[in-house]
């Protein structure tokens, strides 16, 4: 068997960069969905809560809890909010922008609460804009 050298290995990113743009975009989207769904299940497990316990606390059915953890892209905000409340948390939509800006939008009754939105301008924002921290 031939011995491999370090120079025989190429970073995975080089292989990914050679893929067609459409394939790369689809892979990123699918990977993000999988990562997010795994995180929800991990949070629940870290809190030592079973799907059945969470269903009882949130008013969701156990099957709905499983669907949330396994099919996150199709979830409604109201259902996700109930899931988080069942874990004792709250739901906030966070949008990060390339200039470093950030918007945090709380969710109540399945709807974003515009009046309680917190906006932190990024470095590209100069003179003007919302300085109160509220939208």
* Residue 68 binned pLDDT confidence (cut-offs 50, 70, 90): confident
Question: What does pLDDT average to over the chain?
Answer: 80
pLDDT of residue 108: 92
Phi/psi for 30 (5° steps) reads: -65, -40
Q: Is 42 part of any domain?
A: yes
Same domain, 77 and 95: no
pLDDT digits (tens, 9 = 90+) for 36-66: 656 888 888 888 999 999 999 999 999 999 9
What pLDDT digit, counting tens, does each position of 79-115 carry?
989 999 998 999 998 888 888 889 999 999 988 898 8
80: closest CA among 88, 71, 91, 94?
A: 91
Cβ contact 100:122 at 8 Å: yes
Q: Is residue 79 domain-shared with residue 106, that is, in the same domain? A: no
Q: Is the domain of 124 the same as that of 71?
A: no
Task: Show Cβ contacts of residue 72 under 8 Å, excluding neighbours closer than 6 positions.
Answer: 33, 36, 37, 40
The parent domain of residue 126 ranges over 91-135
């Amino acid at each position: 068997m031939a011995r491999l050298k370090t120079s025989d290995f190429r970073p995975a990113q080089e292989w990914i960069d050679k893929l067609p743009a459409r394939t790369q975009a689809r892979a990123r989207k699918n990977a993000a969905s999988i990562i997010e769904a795994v995180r929800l299940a991990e949070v629940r497990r870290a809190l030592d809560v079973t799907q059945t316990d969470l269903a009882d606390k949130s008013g969701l059915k156990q099957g709905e809890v499983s669907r949330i953890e396994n099919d996150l892209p199709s979830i409604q905000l109201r259902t996700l909010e109930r899931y988080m409340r069942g874990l004792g948390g709250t739901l906030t939509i966070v949008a990060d922008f390339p200039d470093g800006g950030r918007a945090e939008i709380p969710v109540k009754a399945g709807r974003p609460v515009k009046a309680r939105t917190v906006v932190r301008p990024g470095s590209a924002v100069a003179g003007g804009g919302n300085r109160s921290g509220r939208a």
